Structure 1
């Protein structure tokens, strides 16, 4: 395998610095109050260097969510194959909430959601994009539950998945707006279990 050149390593370092600085500034000042000029000035790089890695400042969030979705895909591979689909969903969501709480933190998630709510959401938005690994994982579990007759008929895979993913987004939203006494892992489990019980045969 060929080693990375000094130029490529420098490019990776620049991209990482732009990403981390952008996220930090979004949190401190609010997404709408941060410009590309401010991000590059804080990183001591040119504006052209920014556009080598990102088309717009929105792409900084998209890049972060790629990292998050890589975690989801990796975790999915470790879920036991011989348990029920509903158990897989609960195990997956528990790991997701622990990851968001312990690795990303409420401040970053609050920034992401606040900025998402200030925009017009379409199906390609990073929080709702059906091609995200997150949604593909949940769809696969729901499809499995339907095929194994664990879930009752009447809803398509897409409809059932939409209900289950609303548990996730709703719990994250409540975690953001409520105080530290809100246990995001426990609340996610309770909320999702209730919905899953309604879907079971």
Structure 2
């Protein structure tokens, strides 16, 4: 069993506090209106301590998404192998929407999306990184569907994956801009089912 020293434990606590403080300030004031100085002052730690854990304030979002992606990878392991790829995608997306709604909440997701849209997202950005666990999970389901001739011929794994992940991002965006009457789980299921039906042989 690995022993965590008091110093390492303190570092983990500091990182968690910086993460939570940063996200809370972004939500209240907007990403562009929050500085690293304000985060460390609110958190009562040094600026040097911030840069031990994060290269910039945007790394706070990246760190949160890594936590989210770990959830996706763990959930994937529990999906039965005895069902079609399209069914796996729907089960996975349903779990994702429930997790975003119940564990993270609309306010945090709104903050993430607003600030992502205010920046230029390049191909190396974490939110669009094809190596993210989220995209790897979707790719694995799509590859399975293509291999088993569940999806139409002539479409690559990348093309199908892009269409399916757009269902996810589009539904999340609508959830953010519409009121409480918008059921993110139900709408995701309808949207993705329609796209998947169009992709099937």
Superposed pair shares fold, TM > 0.5: yes
Question: Match for residue 196 of structure 1?
Answer: 196
Question: Match for residue 44 of structure 1?
Answer: 44
1:22-33, aligned counterparts within 5 Å? 22-33=22-33
Can you give the 5+ residue segments of structure 2 that lack an aligned partner in the other structure?
none
User: For 1:16 and 1:188, how far apart are their aligned partners in 2?
Assistant: 31
SS state at 1:127 partner: helix
Question: Match for residue 159 of structure 2?
Answer: 159
Query: CA offsets per residue over residues 32-70 of structure 1, 9 Å max, x none?
Result: 000000000001000000000000001000000010000
**Structure 1 ranges of 4+ moved more than 4 A:** none
Question: Match for residue 139 of structure 1?
Answer: 139
Using the TM superposition, give the Cα deviation of residue 78 of structure 1 relative to its aligned residue in structure 2, in angstroms: 0.1
Query: CA offsets per residue over residues 178-199 of structure 1, 9 Å max, x none?
Result: 0000000000000000000000
The CA RMSD over aligned residues, in Å, is 0.6
Question: Match for residue 179 of structure 2?
Answer: 179
Using the TM superposition, give the Cα deviation of residue 154 of structure 1 relative to its aligned residue in structure 2, in angstroms: 1.4
User: For 1:190 and 1:127, how far apart are their aligned partners in 2?
Assistant: 24
Greater alpha carbon shift after TM alignment, 123-132 vs 175-184: 123-132
Query: CA offsets per residue over residues 1-36 of structure 1, 9 Å max, x none?
Result: 231111110000000000000000000000000000
SS state at 2:126 partner: coil
Matched, 1:82 2:82: yes
Using the TM superposition, give the Cα deviation of residue 153 of structure 1 relative to its aligned residue in structure 2, in angstroms: 0.6
How many residue pairs align between the two structures?
201
User: For 1:186 and 1:78, how far apart are their aligned partners in 2?
Assistant: 22
Using the TM superposition, give the Cα deviation of residue 122 of structure 1 relative to its aligned residue in structure 2, in angstroms: 1.5
User: For 1:180 and 1:124, how far apart are their aligned partners in 2?
Assistant: 34
Using the TM superposition, give the Cα deviation of residue 126 of structure 1 relative to its aligned residue in structure 2, in angstroms: 2.6
TM-score w.r.t. structure 1 length? 0.99
User: For 1:173 and 1:79, how far apart are their aligned partners in 2?
Assistant: 26
